[in-house]
């Protein structure tokens, strides 16, 4: 199939996987899945699956990486070799370094790092099954894992991505839509204020399309946030 041949939507406005334009794939989250970690979360997002584990705060080693006034976040995003049909070569590559960095930057804007001078908080994200949108899965799971570890945060970062395929703005592109699509707009949103802490854009969107994609992302972020809170309540009890 060529790029021009893929039809993401039927005549009734329904996508191949049964969703409407502004609909997310189903999201499930569970906390505390790695008993030896200080905090952890499993996320299933459509066919994507990921685990985030948090260790610390602990003393940062070697001392040259320490910051006297705050903790550092040591974030690693990794795709398991079996997470896609093409085996991923184990170890860091350019893409995993980039995603680790943008994830760290997004999380740093909410974690109260000044509480833990000279310390390190380790955040490990492992993608078990990948079907487009894994950076959003990773950031969202890491936020829940940090909350599960009891790390003080001003809010949880919810990461979601709208995109464009066949000239139509679509929420949460799946793999074929991502492959044949024209744009992808992952964002990190703070649900208490709708502030943005992370934005990347792949491809082209007009100003109008950008606004629609942003609105879709904000709406979806609130839906995902509800699932994040429910996962934490399931483990710890209490009302939101």
Residues at the contact surface with ligand CDP, assessed by CB under 6 A: 84, 86, 88, 95, 130-135, 175, 178
- Closest approach, Cβ 133 to ligand CDP, in A, equals 5
Q: How far is the CB of 79 from ligand CDP (least distance, A)?
A: 6
Q: Which residue has the tokens 């948090």?
A: 54
Quick one: 72 or 162, whose CB is closer to ligand CDP? 162
Minimal distance, residue 187 CB to ligand CDP, in Å:
12
Return the number of the residue (100 or 134) whose C-beta is nearest ligand CDP: 134
The full 3-state SS of 164-206, as one line of letters, equals EECCEEEECCCHHHHHHCCEEEEEEEECCCCEEEEECCEECCC
- Looking at beta carbons only, is 84 or 109 nearer to ligand CDP? 84
Q: Give least dist CB 232 to ligand CDP, A.
A: 24
Q: Which residues contact 112 (CB under 8 A, 6 or more apart)?
A: 151, 152, 153, 154
What residues does 73 pair with on adjacent strands?
A: 121
Query: In this complex, which beta carbon is closest to ligand CDP, that of residue 186 or of residue 191?
Result: 186
Measured distance CA(108)–CA(142) in Å, rounded: 12
Mode of pairing for the β-strands spanning 48-59 and 39-45: antiparallel
């Amino acid at each position: 199939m060529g790029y021009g041949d893929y039809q993401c939507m039927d005549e009734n406005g329904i996508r191949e996987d049964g969703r409407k334009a502004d609909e997310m794939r189903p999201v499930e989250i569970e906390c505390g899945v790695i008993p030896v970690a200080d905090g952890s979360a499993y996320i299933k997002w459509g066919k994507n699956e990921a685990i985030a584990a948090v260790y610390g705060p602990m003393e940062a080693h070697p001392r040259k990486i320490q910051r006297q006034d705050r903790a550092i976040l040591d974030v690693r995003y990794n795709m398991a070799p079996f997470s896609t049909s093409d085996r991923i070569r184990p170890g860091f590559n350019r893409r995993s370094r980039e995603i680790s960095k943008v994830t760290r930057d997004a999380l740093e804007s909410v974690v109260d790092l000044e509480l833990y001078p000279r310390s390190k908080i380790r955040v490990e994200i492992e993608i078990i099954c990948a079907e487009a949108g894994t950076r959003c899965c990773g950031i969202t799971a890491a936020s829940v894992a940090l909350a599960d570890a009891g790390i003080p945060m001003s809010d949880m970062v919810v990461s979601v991505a709208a995109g464009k395929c066949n000239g139509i703005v679509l929420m949460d592109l799946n793999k074929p839509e991502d492959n044949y699509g024209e744009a992808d707009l992952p964002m990190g949103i703070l649900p208490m204020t709708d502030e943005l802490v992370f934005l990347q854009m792949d491809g082209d969107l007009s100003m109008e399309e950008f606004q629609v994609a942003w609105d879709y992302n904000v709406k979806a972020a609130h839906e995902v946030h509800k699932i994040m809170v429910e996962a934490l309540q399931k483990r710890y009890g209490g009302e939101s």
